[in-house]
Amino acid sequence: MIINNFKPYEGENCETTAVGNLLKYNGIVLSEPMLFGIGEGISFIYWDSKQMGFPFLGGRCKQDVLTEKIVKNLNLNIEVCQTTSKSKAWENVKSKIDAGIPVGLKLDSYYLEYFTHKIHFAGHYVTIYGYDDKFAYLIDTAQQGSSVKTSLSSLSDARSAKGPMSSPNRSFIITGKNELPNLREIIISAIYNNAYEYLNPPIQNISFKGIRKTAKVIVNWFEKPGITPELITQTGVLMEKAGTGGALFRNMYRNFLKECDELYKDLELNSSYKNFCTIAHMWTEVSKMICSAGQNSSKQDLQRASDILMDIATLEEETMKTLLSKMQLRK
């Protein structure tokens, strides 16, 4: 069963791509940066735990929260299913596809057969729009090929995988064709809420405080038990290529602010847009320095990355304060 005339929504980030596909099915088409901004997605997290081989640097809000906020701000509904049963999980998805409804899936990309770079990442999202006796037909990011397929058995393994960021066989659909709220009001509220949360992190390893913490600990990565130059290089690659903590989300928020500025000049977002142009470039430099540090076993490159991160934290904090103040006047 394959949903007829299903045209993929192409994106760079897996979660916004999945949401974009489900919204498109509901007749709603917004740019990926607009989805990310409406979802109040910009943030940062430095996450280190015994379960992980190496610290994770993330450049956005928590998994699933982005989707929930997009749906809430657009006055739509989300129906989520989670179960530890592989058979129940598949039956749930299968019934939706049989009814002509595409489904968002959260899973571990390691098991997907079209992935060439095999790293366990259980916070990956895809859209399933069809299946047959052997394969599941999916929409992934443009980088992964957009319209792809993987065996049903590999999909089952990916969905039921355990570990950091995993959710047992999580699937979701988006429904509701109510009249959308006023876009200008949505944008003002989303920017205000995102800026407020960014400036008031609940713990020290989130947002600008997390960036400063990363800047302090990164210089000692070579002394951290179990850390190899290869793992450091891998972190740099993931930041820039996979977008976990590199420039991707800053580029996306930059483009969101630009689009909003073009739509509503009275919001005065151009200066913040220009700041995010600079910020995104700085994140790319951090990724380069981390890669270089791993490739050359260079503590000096980690120190350079640390210095840039300190500057990023200051500029992001200042920019979000400006956005908060401007949107507060317009609420």
Given this model, what pLDDT does residue 330 score? 82
DSSP state of 241: I
24 secondary structure, DSSP code: H
Task: Give the list of residues 6+ apart from residue 140 with CB closer than 8 angstroms, or none.
Answer: 14, 17, 112, 114, 126, 146, 148
Residues paired with residue 57 on neighbouring β-strands, in sequence order: 46
CATH number listed for the domain at residues 14-30+77-175 = 3.90.70.10
Strands 171-175 and 77-81: antiparallel
User: Which residues are paired to 42 by β-bridges?
Assistant: 60
Note the pLDDT of residue 242.
64
Among 236, 231, 205, residue whose Cα is nearest residue 304: 236
- Write the DSSP symbol of residue 13: S
In this structure, what DSSP letter does residue 40 have?
T
DSSP letter for 240, please.
I
Task: Report residue 277 as tokens.
Answer: 């142009």
Burial class (CB in 10 A: 0-12, 13-18, 19+), 262: exposed
pLDDT of residue 243: 59
The domain limits of the chain are: 14-30+77-175, 183-330
pLDDT in tens, the chain (331 residues): 999 888 899 999 999 999 999 999 999 999 999 999 999 999 999 988 766 667 888 888 888 999 999 999 999 999 999 999 999 999 999 999 999 999 999 999 999 999 987 888 888 999 999 999 999 999 999 988 899 999 999 999 999 998 878 899 999 999 987 678 899 999 999 999 999 999 999 999 999 999 999 999 999 999 888 788 888 888 888 777 665 666 889 999 999 999 999 999 999 999 999 999 999 999 999 999 999 999 999 999 999 999 999 999 999 999 999 999 999 988 7
Q: What is the rounded CA–CA span in Å between residue 328 and residue 331? A: 5
